[in-house]
Amino acid sequence: MTSTDPDSASSRRVVVTGMGWVTPMGHDIDSVWRRLMNSESGMGAITRFDARTFPTTFAAQVKDYDISRFVRDASVHATAGLNSQFALGAACQAWTQSGLGNYSALNKKRVGLYLGAGEGVVDFENYAASNIAGFDEATRTIDGVKWADFAHKAMNRMCEVEQEPNMPLAHLAREFGARGPALNCLTACAASTQAIGEAFSLIQRGDADVMISGGTHTMIHVLGVTGFNRLTALSTSKGDPTKASRPFDKTRDGFVMGEGSGMIILESLEHALARGATPLAEVAGYGSSADAFRITDIQPEGRGGAASMGVALKQAGIDPNARRADGRAAIDYISAHGTGTKENDSIETRGVKRVFGEHAKDIPMSSIKGMMGHLIAAAGAVEFITCVLAIREGMLPPTINYGTPDPDLDLDYVPNHARAAKVDICLSNSFGFGGQNDTLVVKRFV
């Protein structure tokens, strides 16, 4: 029995023991990290559908991905949507690194899942055809009977069921036999940061000893690109797509869509140590807040982001306005939400200053979205992993395409080139459309 007395729950420390990702820049931790250190880009033309006439024609797509390299038996997951496929690849890497697969005493009822997974991809061709077939030109409405008649023949049952946002959970549970608490949250671009935070909270509470957590998503499809184009959130830059995402640069004009998955294994420290696992880092704090401001706009002073950062730091026992004994600021690195939209990057900068005051300028803050694109629900998990790598490798990933400073954005954005640094404590921000703000603090395990 590996369970823990819930009465000691409040003091339970939580560590990371495995990490994996499937990204537009590759499908394993080491090669993607090298490419991030080299300031490379995962952007290119959209090939999933004919996007040549769309306002935005490019994205950061996952390339040459083969799920059978990761799972034990791909036929079990034959109906999986792209989101579940990405999730499986990332989670298998994390599971392998954790060594849990070889731990015979593992109680799978104490292994939970908390994902921030996006919905599956609409079967657009059949969906559009059904809608057009069911449309009554005279009334300009859908005739339910005609629609149903066509859709019953055109649509595939499994393809529809697999679009439910909790299906990545189901696939991971099947792959690893996890039987503990299982949840999926979908708070847009904040989802997987929030998932990791709540997974951390579930272990602290004593509801599980191990949590598989992270996110997965793709919105690189007709309606996804349409939706973000209509919101004018995407970059519509002409020319080289690798230069389109320009977080914190004065000429930034929107984000570039990415896709993929980041997954981690979280574990109570005692569970990890009892089985001789090596903690990669420790989750120290988590904060969540809502802007409660407007549907499309972020609260302009950065109130919501400052609130989630403040709560996470407080939980980690960190005073943002104090210096450490060696003179360093309270933390060593901020993984910014940094989408490259005008609004986000300004307000995030304001929020960071609100929290760290005069120390903000001494804390490097970069956005990997310039290289990786915006993985939407999966972005936070991938960025959390880069924070763990920054601690372990002593390197900070750069904000690429930074050429024209914005006078209002005056923090250290680690422009264009990776940088060596002593990194012990990182903060990772994710802010979602709709006003959810989530922050994680992760630190070196000692």
Partner 1 sequence: MSRRRVVITGLGPVTAHGVGIEPLWSALCEGRSALAPMRGFDARGFRAASGGELPATFDVKEFVPKSYRKATKVMARDIEIAVGGAATAIKDAGLITRGVDPDVAPTIAPDRFGCHIGAGLIAAELDELTAALVTSRDANGVFDPSKWGAQGMQELTPLWLLKYLPNMLACHVTIIHDCQGPSNTITCNEASAGLSLAESQRVIERGAADACISGGADSKLNPMAYLRQEHAGRQAICSVDDDATSVVKPFDVAAIGGLVGEGGGLLVVEAEETAIARGARIHAGLSGTGASQSWCEDTVGLLPDASGESLADAIEAALRDAGVSADDIDAIIPYGCGVPALDELERAALTRVFGASVSTKPLVTLAPIIGATCAGFGAIAVSVAAKCVSEQRLPARINSTNTGSLNAVATASESRALRHVLVCTPSLGGQNSAVVVSKFN
Q: Smallest distance, Å, CB 387 to partner 1?
A: 21
Decide whether 293 or 403 has the Cβ nearer to partner 1.
Answer: 293
- Give the amino acid at 375: L
Q: Which residues pair with 214 in a beta bridge?
A: 115, 263
Interaction of residue 109 with partner 1, rule CB under 8 A: yes
Tokens read off for 328: 């360093």
Residue 115 phi, psi (nearest 5): -115, 155
Q: Smallest distance, Å, CB 130 to partner 1?
A: 8
Residue 30: which region, alpha, beta or left (left: phi > 0; alpha: psi -120 to 50)? alpha
- How many alpha carbons fall within 13 Å on the CB side of residue 367? 29
Q: Smallest distance, Å, CB 446 to partner 1?
A: 24
Decide whether 45 or 132 has the Cβ nearer to partner 1.
Answer: 132
Q: Which residues pair with 366 in a beta bridge?
A: 335
Chain positions 204 to 223 lying near partner 1, rule: CB under 8 A, are: 204-205, 207, 222-223
Interaction of residue 312 with partner 1, rule CB under 8 A: no
Decide whether 299 or 399 has the Cβ nearer to partner 1.
Answer: 299
Q: Smallest distance, Å, CB 332 to partner 1?
A: 25
Which one of 1, 105, 152, 322 is in contact with partner 1 (CB under 8 A)?
152
Query: Residues 405, 411, 412, 414: what is their CA dihedral angle, to the nearest 10 degrees?
Result: -60
Interaction of residue 410 with partner 1, rule CB under 8 A: no
Cα angle vertex 425, ends 422, 431, to 5°? 125
x-marked contacts with partner 1 along 50-89 as a string, rule CB under 8 A: xxxxxx--------------------xx-xx---------
Closest C-alpha among 293, 288, 290 to residue 308: 288
Which of these is catalytic: 27, 221, 374, 387? 374
Which of these is catalytic: 27, 337, 359, 426? 337
Total interface residues for partner 1 by CB under 8 A: 100
Specify the stretch interacting with partner 1 by CB under 8 A; choose among 243-251, 289-297, 338-346, 391-399.
289-297
Chain positions 156 to 185 lying near partner 1, rule: CB under 8 A, are: 157-158, 160-167, 169-171, 173-174, 177-185
Q: Smallest distance, Å, CB 89 to partner 1?
A: 16
List b or e across 22-42, with b for residues whose CB sees 16 or more CB atoms inside 10 angstroms: bbbbbbbbeebbebbbebbbb
x-marked contacts with partner 1 along 357-376 as a string, rule CB under 8 A: --------------------
Interaction of residue 311 with partner 1, rule CB under 8 A: yes
Is 189 annotated in the active site?
A: yes
Q: How far is CA 285 from CA 49, 231, 313, in A?
A: 41, 33, 6
Count of beta carbons in the 10 Å neighbourhood of residue 400:
29
Tokens read off for 426: 């990182």
Q: Which residues pair with 249 in a beta bridge?
A: 405
Is 359 annotated in the active site?
A: no
Element (H, E) at 439: strand 436-443
Which one of 28, 35, 37, 147 is in contact with partner 1 (CB under 8 A)?
147
Tell whether the torsion through CA atoms of 312, 97, 388 and 413 is positive or negative: negative
Decide whether 318 or 396 has the Cβ nearer to partner 1.
Answer: 318
Q: Smallest distance, Å, CB 149 to partner 1?
A: 6
Residues 6+ apart with CB under 8 A from 37: 395, 397, 418
Specify the stretch interacting with partner 1 by CB under 8 A; choose among 154-162, 245-253, 328-336, 361-369.
154-162
Residue 249: which region, alpha, beta or left (left: phi > 0; alpha: psi -120 to 50)? beta
Interaction of residue 416 with partner 1, rule CB under 8 A: no
Which one of 23, 216, 430, 436 is in contact with partner 1 (CB under 8 A)?
436
Which of these is catalytic: 77, 92, 185, 189? 189
Q: Are the C-beta atoms of 113 and 182 separated by less than 8 Å?
A: yes
Q: Smallest distance, Å, CB 54 to partner 1?
A: 4
Is 152 annotated in the active site?
A: no
Q: Are the C-beta atoms of 421 and 333 separated by less than 8 Å?
A: yes
Chain positions 228 to 267 lying near partner 1, rule: CB under 8 A, are: 228-232
Q: Smallest distance, Å, CB 124 to partner 1?
A: 8
Q: Are the C-beta atoms of 256 and 244 separated by less than 8 Å?
A: yes
Active site residues: 189, 337, 374
